[in-house]
């Protein structure tokens, strides 16, 4: 173990992948103020208040209010461009980005095609200029119900030309049981879309059981409450289902009572495929590099364990195997330069 591995900035220097990142939660206040036309001091204070959260329901309400400020496909192009620049600064090479088009169709009548055309166009322009490769996962909103989810699955399949590769579902985990969405997830699999779902974040281990046994997802969004059920931990390890963990998010929404009680070390050391992600980086005041660093500094993992989690994240992407392994090789070489054996 090297001192340098714990030095500030080490994570930023390493090439990284991210698999749980919401486009709408990545909007920095400056970008939000610009697209909302809220540059005045009063409006800016109103918008700034959306970045602190009392608890999980309060966070969901703030997320909705941020979304209400996004009114045009041009806004999506600006947001995606800003995200891509930020990821490039942090040496993130590849990211799978959630986007929730249903919210904007309902609020402003924007179609998913218009949104994805703008977001994907911005992402591809940035990639050509040396930015990260972005792929999109359409994220359903659980409390909108099953018909909305069915429609979103069809939309995802129709938006493949905009680099949409799969679906997820977020929102209020207690609004409807995970198992109720078996139909739309079966259809997504039939259409060849990749699948993940937020579960075991706010709701307990049962939602994770339903996600793997009934929705048959490839990955679980968060899933940290699986730690409460030792049989579930054994099953996750055996199946190799990756958990898209987002350490700061859990602390800021109150899902976890504090850094000292975070389940990531226990899950990782039980052999579960833990990955590291930023979730809604702007809304939680974090970055992916910071999430890597808190694994060391707040959660007490060793540098080699952090590196193993970073490699797992690259291997849990929905990229072809060769591209996963190319990133793992780059990460290993960069880690060696930092004095970390990976």
Q: Which is nearer to Zn ion, 15 or 281 (CB)?
A: 281
CA distances to 50, 182, 290 from 11, rounded to whole Å, are: 28, 38, 7
Query: Is 20 or 93 the residue whose CB approaches Zn ion more closely?
Result: 20
For 27, the token pair is 């909007």
Selection from 274, 279, 103 nearest residue 202 by Cα: 279
CB of 45 to Zn ion, least distance (A): 27
Q: Which is nearer to Zn ion, 23 or 307 (CB)?
A: 23
Size of the site for Zn ion (CB under 5 A): 1
Nearer to Zn ion, 210 or 279 (CB): 279
Give min distance, CB of 277 to Zn ion, in A.
Answer: 8
Compute CA distances 282 → 26, 32, 79, 249, whole Å: 5, 10, 12, 11
Which residues, numbered 226-285, are part of the site for Zn ion (CB under 5 A)? 279
Q: Which of 24, 201, 244, 293 is catalytic?
A: 201
Do residues 11 and 277 make contact, with C-beta atoms less than 8 angstroms apart? Answer: no
Nearest distance from residue 297's CB to Zn ion, in Å? 23
Report the residue number, 10 or 63, with the smaller CB distance to Zn ion. Answer: 63
Residues 275-314 that bind Zn ion (CB under 5 A): 279
Residue 170 CB, shortest distance to Zn ion, in Å, is 5
Q: Which residue is nearest to Zn ion (CB)?
A: 279
Which residue blocks in the chain are alpha helix, DSSP H?
10-13, 29-36, 41-48, 56-68, 73-89, 101-108, 112-128, 146-158, 182-190, 205-213, 230-239, 247-252, 264-269, 288-297, 303-315, 321-337
Cα–chain center distance at 328: 19
Measured in degrees and rounded to the nearest 5, phi and psi for residue 263 equal: -80, -5
Let me know if 91 is exposed, middle or buried by CB neighbors in 10 A (0-12, 13-18, 19+).
Answer: middle
Give yes or no for a contact between 28 and 50, defined as CB atoms under 8 angstroms apart. Answer: no
* 201 catalytic residue (yes or no): yes
In three-state secondary structure terms, 339 is coil
Least distance (Å) between residue 221 CB and Zn ion: 5
- Where do contacts with Zn ion occur on this chain (CB under 5 A)? 279
Report the catalytic residues.
201
């Amino acid at each position: 173990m090297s001192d340098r591995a714990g030095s500030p900035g080490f994570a930023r220097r390493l090439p990284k992948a991210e698999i749980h990142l919401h486009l709408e939660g990545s909007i920095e206040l400056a970008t939000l103020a610009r697209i909302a036309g809220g540059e005045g001091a009063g409006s800016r204070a109103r918008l700034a208040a959306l970045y602190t959260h009392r608890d999980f329901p309060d966070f969901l309400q703030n997320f909705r209010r941020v979304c209400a400020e996004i009114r045009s496909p041009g806004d999506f192009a600006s947001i995606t461009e800003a995200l891509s620049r930020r990821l490039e600064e942090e040496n993130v090479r590849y990211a799978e980005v959630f986007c929730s088009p249903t919210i904007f169709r309902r609020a402003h009548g924007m179609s998913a095609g218009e949104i994805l055309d703008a977001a994907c166009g911005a992402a591809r322009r940035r990639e050509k200029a040396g930015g990260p490769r972005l792929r999109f996962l359409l994220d359903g909103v659980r409390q909108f119900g099953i018909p909305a989810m069915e429609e979103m699955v069809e939309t995802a399949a129709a938006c493949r030309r905009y680099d949409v590769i799969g679906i997820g579902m977020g929102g209020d985990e207690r609004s409807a049981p995970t198992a109720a969405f078996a139909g739309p997830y079966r259809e997504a699999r039939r259409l060849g879309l990749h699948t993940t779902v937020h579960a075991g974040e706010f709701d307990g281990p049962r939602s994770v059981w339903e996600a793997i046994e009934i929705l048959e997802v490839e990955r679980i969004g968060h899933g940290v409450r699986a730690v409460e059920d030792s049989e579930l931990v054994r099953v996750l390890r055996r199946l190799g289902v990756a958990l898209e963990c987002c350490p700061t998010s859990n602390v800021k929404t109150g899902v976890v009572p504090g850094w000292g009680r975070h389940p990531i070390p226990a899950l990782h050391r039980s052999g579960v495929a833990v990955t590291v992600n930023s979730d809604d980086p702007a809304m939680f005041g974090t970055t992916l590099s910071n999430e890597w660093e808190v694994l060391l500094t707040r959660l007490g993992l060793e540098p080699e364990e952090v590196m193993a989690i970073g490699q797992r994240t690259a291997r849990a992407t929905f990229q072809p195997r060769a591209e996963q392994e190319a990133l793992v090789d780059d990460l290993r070489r960069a880690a060696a330069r930092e004095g970390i054996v990976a």
